[in-house]
Amino acid sequence: MGMTVEFVKVEVRMDRKWMSANRLSKECRDGVQDFIRFVVQHEEELDLSRIVCPCLICCYVGRVNVQELEGHLVSNGIDQSYTC
């Protein structure tokens, strides 16, 4: 008797409110931290020194490490059309 295994893709969505919050607010800082945790946990072949940066200055062209990513998102903001 053979066994059939079916894989189902589950879509995970993050709360995006922080993306439009004041960058000096706790809501924004907490959102950046949650975003970074999400990226680290869900990236399949993550090189933590080469993360594509979705900040408004890098616009997905720059690659940064985790600490730089946090700084960029807090300082520059994130492209609000970004989807995970």
Q: How far is the C-alpha of 64 from the C-alpha of 52, rounded, in Å?
A: 7
Residue 52's nearest CA partner among 73, 31, 27, 80 is: 73
Give the range among 8-12, 13-17, 40-44, 55-59 with minimum mean pLDDT: 8-12
d(CA 22, CA 29): 9
Per-residue model confidence (pLDDT) at position 59: 93
Residue 84's pLDDT band (boundaries 50, 70, 90)?
low
Q: 49-81 in b/e burial notation, b at 16+ Cβ within 10 A?
A: eebebbbeebeeeeebeeebbbebbbebbbeee
Whose CA is closest to 52, among 73, 69, 35, 28?
69
The pTM of this model reads 0.75
